[in-house]
A and B are shown apart, each in its own frame.
Chain A
């Protein structure tokens, strides 16, 4: 068996063993069990709810409410908690939560949201709360042990407010906190006025973490506060949002007017000269929490794309069976629509998008797991150095930043010729790790949320269209219509596309990230030379072109003399954010396929069949590289020529661009043949007799 023997293709769609290797949890039995627990709930209760039409109302019915108990019993709730509070995942939980989100969204995105929202509410407390707050609320959210008589608490996270208040711009909060009573020597009592819009979990929430600002001179800054349903005042759950999507989560516009003790300020406070100073502002907390939780949303869209492949194959193959004149055993009977190249190619596009989206989502989840392990240590080091934040922190990061860049550049040099001792030394440095992982995470995370949900939604529409009229009916196998329209919400909540683009347009300039790109380019060139069939060379050229474009916009002015790189120039920066997201997604996918190529052959179950999997997944990656390169070329052309005056034709920059673009496009050889092979594989792959969840 040689890997270059491209004749062998995938025998069945990738199963658990393949996924465990690709997404790197083959030796994590806790995660594998969590996956199985989530899958049984998804393809059991949740699929039943959808099939029974429970999504046809936005009301929170008893049937829908049963999901909570199923989540509690199967460990889905506990997966978000520390081991000390009944948790089931030892250590960081980002990858585990992404896998659970994947399993649930495979059937229904709203149900996945319901499972994750408690982590969103707890997030500020877990990440930034005082020890007392962590203890109280984590314990309250612990599923009761069998026989234990205790009501479990559930939470909501309330940032968004009724128009015209916070939405995309989280900075302008209108919710207010003021001092209600403050007796000498006693804990201050605060008055909270907060109206929420689109707040998930409000039908059941026992506590809310809410973002509030202040106009009271006795409170220094904005903050987050914890509200409880039994607090004195108004706790109005509000009217349910009339949602057209995600009906298996509950959302409402609540109104709170409550008195709470100051100890409910998330992260605590100090008092100085009669003024309450919250230790953390609302935006500091939101920054810390959302950056991680939004990955799970990207993974949802990825799961839905991959879940569409099997029902689509089945539909295509069975399309003409039973028609007059179509004899069993004839090609039309056996292959149906799969006789047509276009049907196969479009299905391949849906599949490739799903793979790249999932790989990107799981890669950033792993980055956050690593980061979780070291960030505490990093903060301790800063504390020991007396670094408290702001300027001092920027200064303290300077050295590790240049060290990280040095390390990445060294790693990009050929093996054998580079200074391994220095690399090892730098790698062992906590602060170097910290700035490295942060820099990568700060781009990968918004890229995942942006690309997976945004482009994912487009491709889910494509999936629906491949089912023809069936696609828009309630009876469509795999609930594709719901999955498509749900993706629109996934692209919106937890920071809509504009927020992600804005974040990338800042973080993509980080020198550490740019050094990481250099390293990726070096790795991809090596891979491309060894295995041209991966398309890695074209991807390397794509990254090079993007780097050139970044440098270009950094210097260039438009025909009117206005710099292209102005921070408000969304027309320039946002397409750059899109372009890098395309490249990052397919890079993650190729890396996962290489992991499979390295570790798959020795696997006792899949080893004998591995060549077919590697060939077909490599081909999928190759065709996706071509798609991504096409986007980067198009975006580059618009930016380079689109701002120039007609007479200029972008001058020297134009010819430099053309050269690089031609190099990238010239290396696309074989990518379309790869697509043909994927199409063929899709027409031959063995699928189960029936879908394993109801219609």
Chain B
């Protein structure tokens, strides 16, 4: 590896998971009650991808991170007040719906076009990161579709770890059934990595990083191109919140052993 990676992370906003998410039908198709007003967070899966990207960029000299976000511009701006303080990146913004009901094909096409248009993009150094799933658009196909459109065939899904060697080759751990990992080695970029949770904690807000990022964030938002994504050809017959299955109990001062024993018993039932 001489020049480092170009790591492009695909990630956008989802409603804050603590909010009340109530499906409703709108003239534009299915949506959520008070959707525009719901406070949002960076989609947790792509957030992991972003933190892993920044971590990798730090390790491999010459690397750079972009964040490609498709969402309502004004809401992206609000989101950036937090996200821009986490890790250094350059924003590429697309102005369009980030609703959970958009068609993954349309979204992937818009993202792939935006990635392809990044000035100075060098495919031989390109790693496309994203989430393996989404807290709202859980089609679990978006990253694969982006990869296909960019002509990148080395794709890893449910990634928890990447380990880069001196020559640019890397090994990857992907989640598979039964709590096990599939370990692979890849000769090098380009590749698509759709992340599970990774191993990194959420970095604390750092205002210095924030001030650095904001210089690029505001212009990026200003020139964000409209992306015509929507429900596409999908007809939604019915939308509903998954029924809550968890039985929750509040206990105080229980030891970890006790809690673990109870969980195991519950799983066995």
Question: What is the interface of chain A, defined by CB distance below 8 A to chain B?
Answer: 11-12, 15-17, 29-30, 32-37, 40, 70, 73-75, 78, 88, 145, 603-606, 608-609, 686-692
Q: Which of B3-11, B30-38, B123-131, B182-190 participates in binding chain A?
A: B30-38
Q: How far is the CB of A124 from chain B (nearest CB, A)?
A: 26
Chain B residues within an 8 Å CB radius of A686: 20, 22, 33-34
Contact A75/B205 with A11-B37, A608-B36 known, Cβ cut-off 8 Å? yes
B78 contacts chain A at the CB level, 8 A cutoff? yes
User: Chain B 10-49, CB within 8 Å of chain A: the 1/0 string?
Assistant: 0000001011101000000000011011110000000000
Chain B residues within an 8 Å CB radius of A12: 34, 37-38
B50 contacts chain A at the CB level, 8 A cutoff? no
User: Would A688 and B36 count as touching, CB distance under 8 A?
Assistant: no
Contact A605/B33 with A30-B211, A73-B206, A689-B18 known, Cβ cut-off 8 Å? no
B179 contacts chain A at the CB level, 8 A cutoff? no
Q: How far is the CB of B87 from chain A (nearest CB, A)?
A: 13
User: Would B19 and A33 count as touching, CB distance under 8 A?
Assistant: no
Q: Once bound together, how far apart are the Cα atoms of A621 and B205, in whole Å? A: 36
B230 contacts chain A at the CB level, 8 A cutoff? no
User: Would A29 and B218 count as touching, CB distance under 8 A?
Assistant: yes
Q: Contact check: which of B72, B81, B210, B218 meets A604 at CB < 8 Å?
A: B72
B204 contacts chain A at the CB level, 8 A cutoff? yes
Q: Contact check: which of A29, A30, A605, A688 meets B16 at CB < 8 Å?
A: A688
User: Would A604 and B20 count as touching, CB distance under 8 A?
Assistant: no
B219 contacts chain A at the CB level, 8 A cutoff? no
User: Would A603 and B74 count as touching, CB distance under 8 A?
Assistant: yes
Contact A605/B207 with A35-B81, A40-B82 known, Cβ cut-off 8 Å? no
Contact A688/B85 with A33-B207, A75-B207, A608-B36 known, Cβ cut-off 8 Å? no
B137 contacts chain A at the CB level, 8 A cutoff? no
Q: Contact check: which of B38, B81, B204 meets A29 at CB < 8 Å?
A: B81
Q: Contact check: which of A33, A34, A73, A606 meets B37 at CB < 8 Å?
A: A606
Contact A36/B81 with A29-B218, A74-B206, A686-B20 known, Cβ cut-off 8 Å? yes
Q: Contact check: which of A74, A604, A690 meets B204 at CB < 8 Å?
A: A74
User: Would B204 and A17 count as touching, CB distance under 8 A?
Assistant: no
B84 contacts chain A at the CB level, 8 A cutoff? yes
User: Would A32 and B19 count as touching, CB distance under 8 A?
Assistant: no
Q: Once bound together, how far apart are the Cα atoms of A78 and B205, in whole Å? A: 13
Q: Once bound together, how far apart are the Cα atoms of A145 and B206, in whole Å? A: 11
Q: Which 10 A-B pairs have the closest CB atoms?
A: A75-B207, A604-B74, A37-B205, A32-B81, A88-B207, A36-B82, A688-B18, A33-B210, A605-B74, A688-B19
User: Chain B 61-104, CB within 8 Å of chain A: the 1/0 string?
Assistant: 00000000000111100100110110000000000000000000
Q: Residue of A at shortest CB range from B203?
A: A73
Q: How far is the CB of B160 from chain A (nearest CB, A)?
A: 24
User: Would B37 and A15 count as touching, CB distance under 8 A?
Assistant: yes
Q: Once bound together, how far apart are the Cα atoms of A30 and B204, in whole Å? A: 17
Chain A residues within an 8 Å CB radius of B16: 688, 692
Q: How far is the CB of A251 from chain B (nearest CB, A)?
A: 27
Chain A residues within an 8 Å CB radius of B39: 15-16
Q: How far is the CB of B46 from chain A (nearest CB, A)?
A: 18
Q: Residue of B at shortest CB range from A32?
A: B81
B214 contacts chain A at the CB level, 8 A cutoff? yes
**Known pairs A16-B78, A686-B33 / 12 extra A-B pairs, C-beta < 8 Å:** A11-B34, A29-B81, A29-B218, A33-B207, A35-B81, A37-B85, A40-B205, A73-B204, A604-B74, A609-B37, A688-B19, A689-B20
Would you give 9 A-B contacts (Cβ < 8 Å), ordered by A?
A29-B214, A32-B81, A33-B84, A33-B211, A35-B81, A88-B207, A605-B78, A609-B37, A689-B18
Q: Contact check: which of B34, B38, B207, B218 meets A37 at CB < 8 Å?
A: B207
User: Would B85 and A36 count as touching, CB distance under 8 A?
Assistant: yes
User: Would A604 and B73 count as touching, CB distance under 8 A?
Assistant: yes
